[in-house]
């Protein structure tokens, strides 16, 4: 098979769609006004922002005045969690519930709150990567002010029972925030049906540009500001609106939530072929529940090799992927998500995440399945760890064949 | 993160990969928990390293540092090889990202461990030549 470029890291970021780009372009040049200005150039921009707000609201079953544009998922998470913490503090409630495998935007915000005297419960996840509503209910206390649990995990793609968790929260009068950055456009979201009070979403995961996102805040929640300044976003998020990106987000999210079922059917088929193909390599395992996971997510551990070496070699073959190894996380520890699953360090180091979407083809999958096994074999043949595994566990070392 | 062309060259085409069946010294450093294991094999003749091979489990920098380290000590007298520092390894690779500097330390240690093993097999105390084998200073290790 001829060498080709296969982008299989759509959970990291996506290509901006031509449609979103076309919609955004005029707002860089001809329609460059400030939406706060009174003249028509500004007002036209304000109208464009309003339209995008409606598009984002429609995509998640919210009202337009419940959508606030931000710089992305991290800001939305920070705003939601720090804001709810302040609301709780006023009532003497300084306990927050989250999980051990949240995105760092949530986890590190919670750690910061700990330094301010908040108490955080980090719920463990099952070995399939799922947290239950029952766990949440058992952890709720008198002084719990917020539950923040992601809709779908960014590394292993497992989908959480958000609707049930939200129900439990509301039963006990606790606010519920969810980081839905990986979920929007991949599973259907309805903030009302799913009992969500606050929801973070990001543009660049759904074919909009980087640096744009939104926070949904249910009507009636007086969330304090994170960023103070001008009167933008109805006085709640200062800073001149990123009009081109907001317009692009509106267009992109509309497309992303269209025909999710049909899109997922196609992507899931490719994903399953990819999973089955990779699991044919000896000593590999799928991380996270196979059924309750995003249609495009593959996360496997390949024993005896290290993730970064694997990624670099895949890149030499034209395949862009990611890993939860320490070397790719910038620390000595591998991914907290894989460790939370209960994987030993050495297995977490050898993880590979491939995230495909509707733009990937069967040829892409065939290509990955063609280049991956020989790469694994080569890296194993030079790995003292693989050698040791084979010896101590009496596994046939196929690299010597 | 950016790797130099030298690093990528040694990663993609590692020199001296493999094992030496009748090695005169074998050194292994690092551990699976930290995600790096380097194993170095040397063949010594008249105090000269006549052959050297390595196997590495680890990231791109770990492979590249072990590869270039084997090149730098092959054909050298033991005492010359022992002068190889992790700094020299980094320089020879046109630099490493800060988070990857520990890989160069591992390469130096793997080389020293193999020479230590050689001395031990000769019934010679390696410490006067190689110094104390330094322990891994990462938080995961109790080595």
Cα–Cα separations (whole angstroms), residue A195 to A189, A274, A304, A313, B62: 10, 34, 44, 44, 48
By DSSP bridging, strand A297-302 and strand A284-286 are antiparallel
Nearest CA distance, A340 vs chain B (angstrom) = 15
Q: What is the model's pTM?
A: 0.94
Residues 6+ apart with CB under 8 A from B138: A332, B34, B102
The domain tally of chain B equals: 1
The answer to whether residue B128 sits within a structural domain is no
Q: Which helix (H) or strand (E) holds B7?
A: helix B5-12
The answer to whether residue B97 sits within a structural domain is yes
Per the structure, the complete domain to which residue B92 belongs is given by 5-121
**Distance between CA A88 and CA A90 in Å, rounded?**
5
Q: Would you place residue B134 in the very low, low, confident or very high pLDDT band (cuts 50, 70, 90)? A: low
Tell me if residue A169 is catalytic.
Answer: no
Query: Residue B99's pLDDT is what?
Result: 86
Nearest CA in chain B to A317: B12
Q: List CB contacts (< 8 A) between A304 and chain B.
A: 57
The answer to whether residue B135 sits within a structural domain is no
Handedness of CA A96, A102, A105, A107 (dihedral sign): positive
Interchain contact, A383 vs B57, CB within 8 Å: yes
Residues 6+ apart with CB under 8 A from A30: none
Query: Residue B37's pLDDT is what?
Result: 95
Q: With left for phi above 0 and alpha for psi between -120 and 50, is residue A156 left, alpha or beta?
A: alpha
- Check residue B124 and report its DSSP letter: -
**Distance between CA A150 and CA A363 in Å, rounded?**
32
User: Would you tell me how many other CB atoms lie within 10 Å of the CB of residue B98?
Assistant: 9
What spatial distance separates the first Cα and last Cα of chain A, rounded to whole Å? 24
Q: List CB contacts (< 8 A) between A312 and chain B.
A: 3, 8, 11-12, 60
Q: List CB contacts (< 8 A) between A382 and chain B.
A: 14, 17-18, 55-56, 63
Q: Are A318 and A3 in contact (CB under 8 A)?
A: yes
Interchain contact, A382 vs B8, CB within 8 Å: no
Q: Would you place residue B131 in the very low, low, confident or very high pLDDT band (cuts 50, 70, 90)? A: confident
The answer to whether residue B142 sits within a structural domain is no
The answer to whether residue B134 sits within a structural domain is no
* Interface mutation vs chain A, best among B57, B107, B113, B136, most A CBs within 10 Å: B57
Query: Residue B142's pLDDT is what?
Result: 43
Q: Would you place residue B10 in the very low, low, confident or very high pLDDT band (cuts 50, 70, 90)? A: very high
Q: List CB contacts (< 8 A) between B101 and chain A.
A: none
Query: Residue B1's pLDDT is what?
Result: 75
Question: Which residue of the set B34, B59, B136, B138 is catalytic?
Answer: B34
**Distance between CA A155 and CA A324 in Å, rounded?**
8
Nearest CA distance, B26 vs chain A (angstrom) = 12
The answer to whether residue B47 sits within a structural domain is yes
Q: List CB contacts (< 8 A) between A309 and chain B.
A: 11, 58-60, 62-63
Q: What is the pLDDT of residues A263-284, one digit of tens each?
A: 999 999 999 999 999 999 999 9
**Tokens coding B7:** 């690093």
Q: Establish if B25 touches chain A: CB-CB under 8 angstroms.
A: no
For residue B56, the cross-strand partners are B38
Q: Are A16 and A207 in contact (CB under 8 A)?
A: yes
Question: Which residue of the set A110, A169, A327, A390 is catalytic?
Answer: A327
Interchain contact, B60 vs A382, CB within 8 Å: no
Interchain contact, A382 vs B14, CB within 8 Å: yes
Angle formed by the axes of helices A307-316 and B60-73, nearest 10°: 90
Query: Residue B143's pLDDT is what?
Result: 41
Residues with pLDDT less than 70, chain A: 326-332
Q: What is the pLDDT of residues B27-36, one digit of tens each?
A: 999 988 888 9
CATH code, domain with B75: 3.90.1010.10
**Distance between CA A360 and CA A388 in Å, rounded?**
37
Nearest CA in chain A to B102: A332
By DSSP bridging, strand A213-217 and strand A284-286 are unpaired
Q: Establish if A222 touches chain B: CB-CB under 8 angstroms.
A: no
Q: What is the pLDDT of residues B59-109, one digit of tens each?
A: 999 999 999 999 999 999 999 999 999 999 999 999 999 889 988 999 999
**Distance between CA A114 and CA A108 in Å, rounded?**
10
Interchain contact, A382 vs B32, CB within 8 Å: no
Q: Are A350 and A302 in contact (CB under 8 A)?
A: yes
Question: Which residue of the set B103, B136, B138, B141 is catalytic?
Answer: B103
The answer to whether residue B81 sits within a structural domain is yes
Higher-confidence residue of B130 and B138: namely: B130
């Amino acid at each position: 098979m001829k060498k080709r470029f296969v982008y299989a890291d759509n959970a990291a970021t996506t290509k901006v769609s031509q449609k979103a780009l076309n919609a955004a372009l005029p707002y860089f040049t001809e329609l460059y006004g400030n939406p706060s200005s009174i003249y028509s150039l500004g007002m036209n921009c304000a109208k464009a922002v309003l339209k995008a707000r409606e598009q984002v609201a429609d995509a998640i079953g919210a009202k337009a005045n419940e959508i606030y544009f931000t710089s992305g998922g991290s800001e939305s998470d920070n705003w939601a969690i720090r804001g709810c913490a302040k609301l709780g503090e006023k009532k003497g409630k300084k306990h927050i519930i989250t999980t051990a495998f949240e995105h760092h935007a949530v986890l590190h915000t919670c750690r910061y709150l700990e330094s301010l005297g908040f108490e955080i419960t980090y719920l463990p996840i099952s070995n399939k990567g799922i947290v239950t509503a029952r766990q949440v209910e058992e952890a709720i206390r008198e002084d719990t002010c917020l539950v923040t649990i992601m809709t779908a995990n960014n590394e292993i793609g497992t989908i959480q029972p958000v609707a049930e968790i939200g129900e439990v929260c509301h039963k006990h009068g606790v606010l519920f925030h969810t980081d839905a950055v990986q979920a929007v456009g991949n599973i259907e979201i309805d903030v009302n049906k799913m009992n969500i009070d606050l929801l973070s979403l990001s543009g660049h995961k759904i074919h909009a540009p980087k640096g744009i996102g939104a926070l949904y805040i249910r009507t009636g929640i007086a969330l304090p500001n994170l960023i103070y300044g001008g009167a933008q976003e109805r006085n709640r998020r200062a800073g001149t609106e990123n009009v081109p990106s907001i317009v692009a987000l509106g267009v992109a999210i509309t497309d992303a939530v269209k025909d999710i079922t049909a899109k997922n059917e196609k992507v899931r088929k490719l994903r399953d072929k990819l999973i089955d193909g990779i699991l044919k390599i000896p000593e590999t395992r799928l991380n996270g529940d196979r059924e309750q996971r995003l249609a495009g997510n593959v996360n496997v551990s390949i024993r005896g090799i290290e993730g970064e070496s694997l990624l670099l070699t895949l890149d030499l073959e034209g395949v862009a992927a990611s890993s939860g190894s320490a070397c790719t996380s910038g620390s000595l520890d591998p991914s907290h998500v894989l460790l939370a699953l209960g994987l030993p360090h050495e297995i977490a180091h050898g993880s590979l995440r491939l995230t495909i979407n509707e733009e990937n083809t069967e040829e892409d999958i065939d290509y990955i399945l063609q280049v991956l096994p020989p790469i694994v074999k080569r890296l194993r043949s030079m790995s003292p760890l693989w050698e040791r595994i084979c010896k101590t566990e009496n596994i046939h070392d196929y690299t010597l064949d | 993160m950016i790797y130099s062309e030298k690093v990528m060259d040694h990663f993609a085409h590692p020199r001296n990969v493999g094992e030496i069946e009748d090695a005169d010294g074998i050194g292994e450093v690092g551990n699976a928990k930290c995600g790096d294991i380097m194993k170095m094999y040397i063949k010594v003749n008249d105090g000269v390293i006549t052959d050297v091979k390595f196997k590495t489990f680890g990231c791109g920098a770990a492979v590249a540092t072990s590869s270039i380290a084997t090149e730098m000590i092959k054909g050298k007298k033991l005492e010359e090889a022992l002068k190889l520092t992790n700094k020299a390894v980094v320089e020879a690779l046109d630099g490493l990202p800060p988070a990857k500097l520990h890989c160069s330390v591992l390469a130096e240690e793997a080389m020293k461990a193999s020479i230590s093993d050689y001395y031990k097999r000769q019934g010679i105390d390696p410490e006067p030549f190689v110094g104390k084998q330094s322990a891994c200073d990462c938080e995961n290790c109790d080595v």
